[in-house]
Chains A and B, each alone.
Chain A
Amino acid sequence: MSLLLWQGGKGCNFYKLVEHYQGIEINMGNRKTKTERGWALQGENSDIILEMKNITKVFPGVVANDRVNLEVRRGEIHGLLGENGAGKTTLMSILYGLYRPDEGEIIFDGEKRVFSSPKDAIESGIGMVHQHFMLVNKMSALNNILLGYKTPGDPLLDYEWAREKIRSIIEVYGIDAELDERVINMSVGEEQRVEILKSLFRDVKLLILDEPTSVLTPIESERLFQALKRMSEKGLTVLFITHKLREALEVTDRITVLRKGRNVGTLITKRTDEKELARLMVGREIDMKIEKKRVEAGKDVLKLENVYARNDRGLMALKGISLSVREGEILGIAGVSGNGQKELEEVIIGLRPVEKGKILFNGEDITFSSVRKRTRLGISCIPENRIETGLAPSLTIEENLILRDYESFSRNGFMEFDMIEAHAEKLVEEYGIKTPSTKAPARTLSGGNIQRLIIARELSRNPLFLIASQPTRGLDIAGIDYVRRKLISLAEEGKAILLISEDLEEIVQISDRIAVIFEGEIRGIFDRENVDIDRIGLLMSGGADN
């Protein structure tokens, strides 16, 4: 029985592929590799818990899944790897009954199934932890776990019975959560554990995790991986969706790679490496290393002096921040999200009032200046929340591209449409924004293209200073690469850049100096030359600096 999950698309050479990917397992008769992880060696077919055959799903204008085959073995951690828009989430949503496939069939646990709603999927033993958690914020963890579940004595709720059951799950898998706490008061890591408990409570056989680490700190991710390994040891099957190569390599047993809606191969994790996966995923070689030329840092462009500011809840979120960003340098702000990064971004761009302290831009005091004035002085911003503050989703791409400088595209109060169009076409070309038309609404763009649009707008105005907040979050490899290179080339032109990112690797890779933020304070500043990752990690989590 062949395990080579491969789609015979146009222009592909099957044999060449086989030759090329020695890591692909062709024969799966009796395997011994996994016995140490605790699942019994069974007959050939009973080993396969899930088989998706020829799944096709077409959305208006996009083929999200094109005759995808997927085979998952009982008790394994199976990675589903692919870039954004490769069709991972669509495939899983089909499996979970959220979407109906246009074609294809699903065989789960030995039976052919048709899932027309999540209810069907749950009942047959499939659980899913979505990328955006599906929790009711105002309810307790316990109620969220119980939601929709029929306890004995239904429709009454048997909390004692439920607690007992959850307790035994916690014992077996070591996934803990404060049951009586409301979700609204929880950290994302804890929310995720509630989500997992929710699935385990329903006695799932297969657990789907959609980009589970995208919101976690490195420590929380590690904790999650431990839990996943324990689940796999207990015979639970895990489908792990990710676009991060390292994670896929670290935690999975086998990996299926999707590209542009197609299955381009299923590999055994142990017999593959980052490079091969990246090539399969992207379809071309990607240089994973970026080098930033050392530019002699010039004078201070932006300077914060002892800045205090409150968050939306009225609590002090910035407590005496002092830092400066110089010409030609990238200053990276490292920290776990929620430690004042958002407030820092807003204080600099002018969206949030400063309680105390001063902000200087090229020596000029702009503490109380309007957003417009700061923009005119040459401050640009790639905001953390791209869709909500980065653009107006229902306006066209053209309109979004002039959002910050629309005045220079008008004469006597009338918009100069020819000029706007020419401007848009130039930027779409130059920044590689993929869209059928510059007149399409911005919301029709994919995540990566939205980011390109914002970068195009912010960089084309030739700023002196740029804040880039989580600029690569949620982007695929090609997108991340693109954004990082752009930031570096901007710095090399002598511009000052403040990079706020949760991705420590990114910060270390492209920053000239790194400032660590924790609970609204800068806990330490490092030069590129003497970066100490362990110390940064310690400071990020509030550890004392000796």
Chain B
Amino acid sequence: MLESEFIASLIAASMRAGTPLLFATLGEIITERSGVLNLGLEGVMITGAMVGFYFSYVTGNPWIGILAGGFAGLLLAMVHAFFTVTLKVDQAVTGLMLVLFGLGITGFLGRGLVGEVASYLQPVKLPLLSEIPYIGTAVFSHDPLVYIGILIVPLLWFFMNKTRYGMELYAVGENPEAADTVGISVDRIRFIAVLTGGFLVGIAGAHLSLAYAKVWTDGLTAGRGWICLALVIFSGWMPQRAIFGAYLFGGLDVLSFKLQAAGLGVSYHFMRMVPYIFTILVLLFSVIREREKFGAPSALGKPYIREQKY
């Protein structure tokens, strides 16, 4: 059963399924690195998915859909940033509000889109490379966003570790007061980080509806936003580790279909549970491991107010 062809198609599917997780995880890593927790991933992601699908459906251009999804995410992130950064409201509450809002509004506005077909992102076979047997189908025959996702990882790593902006982002998330006293505008950096994060999460959603599922259904994200929150912890807030987590979870996601198709006698419902069970295990694991705790931004979830007299 475990033939090379099966493995090749499994890898291919893992990458495809893992890409939305990757975008969303990277987005949340940027957000959380600045010290802002956005629990609203699920809501932002599904809004990106619906808006992206709608724009592709109307314009016939999936790229416009992808961008529209990104901007929808950015818009919701702006709400989050306004409440948490500008007004210093509790970050968890605002995030949860976004989840409920996103799920609700997409269910409502997306009714007309259910069952419709929008033009989706076509896979691009990379010349020569895609002709390599097995590996070609597994790795080199994907839609462009998959490759873009892979490219973003080293770029983001470089940005976070090798530039002044990356260092400022880190400092703002670790000790906003220290950043403030060397003249870094904490609020501005947090705002930018939350917006950038929202944009990536929106794109993640749009990829889900325009490249992975290729349809719009109510509740399309099915908890992927929550999984990504766990993936952020799993990756220790490092983009280079996020990609492994994302592909692993993408793989678990598609494995259920693949094994089903392969005629394995395991209940479909059980297989659907696997990624979520895995999420729980990841969280348990990361609590035990000291290093993960060390990776968390120290000021995560704490609003920063300068003129605090006590």
Contacts and interface: CB of A to CB of B under 8 A. Distances in A.
Interface of A: 59, 96, 98-99, 117-120, 122-123, 128, 130, 134-139, 143-144, 146-151, 154-157, 198, 443
B165 A137 contact: no
Contacts of B180: 98, 118
B178 A135 contact: yes
Interface string B180-202: 11111100000000000000000
Q: Which of B179, B183, B185, B307 has the most CB of A within 10 A?
A: B183
Contact of B168 (A134, A138, A147): A147
B164 interface: yes
5 contacts: A59-B309, A117-B185, A144-B178, A147-B168, A157-B163
A416 to B, nearest CB: 31
A147 B178 contact: yes
B188 to A, nearest CB: 11
A136 B163 contact: no
Contacts of B164: 146, 148-151, 154-157
Contact of B181 (A128, A138, A146, A156): A128
A234 B179 CA distance: 28
Contact of A136 (B162, B165, B171): B171
Contacts of A198: 182
Contacts of B306: 98
Q: Which of B171, B178, B184, B185 has the most CB of A within 10 A?
A: B178
B310 interface: yes
A118 B171 contact: no
A138 B294 contact: yes
B185 to A, nearest CB: 8
A139 B294 CA distance: 12
Contacts of B168: 147-148
B279 interface: no
Interface in B152-182: 162-165, 167-168, 170-171, 174-175, 177-182
A99 B307 contact: yes
A327 B306 CA distance: 48
A443 to B, nearest CB: 6
Contacts of A128: 181
A120 B182 CA distance: 10
Contacts of A146: 164, 167
A137 B306 CA distance: 19
Given A137-B298, A155-B163, A157-B163, A148 B184 contact: yes
Contact of B174 (A120, A130, A138, A151): A138
Interface string B262-306: 000000000000000000000000000000001000100000001
Interface residues of B, number: 25
B191 to A, nearest CB: 16
Nearest to B297: A138
Chain B at the A interface: mostly helix, strand, loop or mixed? Answer: helix
Contacts of B167: 139, 143, 146-147, 157
Nearest to B168: A148
Interface string B27-66: 0000000000000000000000000000000000000000
Nearest to B309: A59
Contacts of B181: 96, 98, 118, 128, 130, 134
Q: Which of B164, B171, B181 has the most CB of A within 10 A?
A: B181
B162 A122 contact: no
A155 B165 contact: yes
B157 to A, nearest CB: 14
Contacts of A150: 164
Contacts of A155: 163-165
B179 A147 contact: yes
A95 to B, nearest CB: 13
B153 to A, nearest CB: 19
Nearest to A145: B182
Given A122-B183, A147-B184, A136 B178 contact: yes
Contacts of B307: 98-99
Nearest to A93: B307
A385 B178 CA distance: 22
A166 to B, nearest CB: 15
B159 to A, nearest CB: 9
B163 A118 contact: no
Nearest to B173: A136
A329 B163 CA distance: 60
A146 B181 CA distance: 13
Nearest to A148: B182
A493 to B, nearest CB: 34
B51 to A, nearest CB: 32
A144 to B, nearest CB: 8
B183 A138 contact: no
A59 B310 CA distance: 11
Nearest to B184: A148
Report, nearest first, the 5 A-B pairs whose CB atoms are least far apart. Answer: A119-B183, A134-B178, A148-B182, A134-B181, A155-B163
B203 to A, nearest CB: 24
Contacts of A139: 167, 170-171, 174
Contacts of A59: 309
B298 A147 contact: no
Contacts of A149: 164, 182
Nearest to B178: A134
Contacts of B170: 136, 139
B294 A134 contact: no
Nearest to A447: B310
Given A119-B183, A122-B183, 18 more contacts: A59-B309, A117-B183, A117-B185, A128-B181, A134-B178, A134-B181, A135-B178, A136-B178, A138-B174, A139-B170, A143-B167, A147-B182, A148-B179, A148-B183, A149-B182, A154-B164, A155-B164, A156-B164
A139 B160 CA distance: 13
Given A118-B183, A147-B182, A137 B174 contact: yes
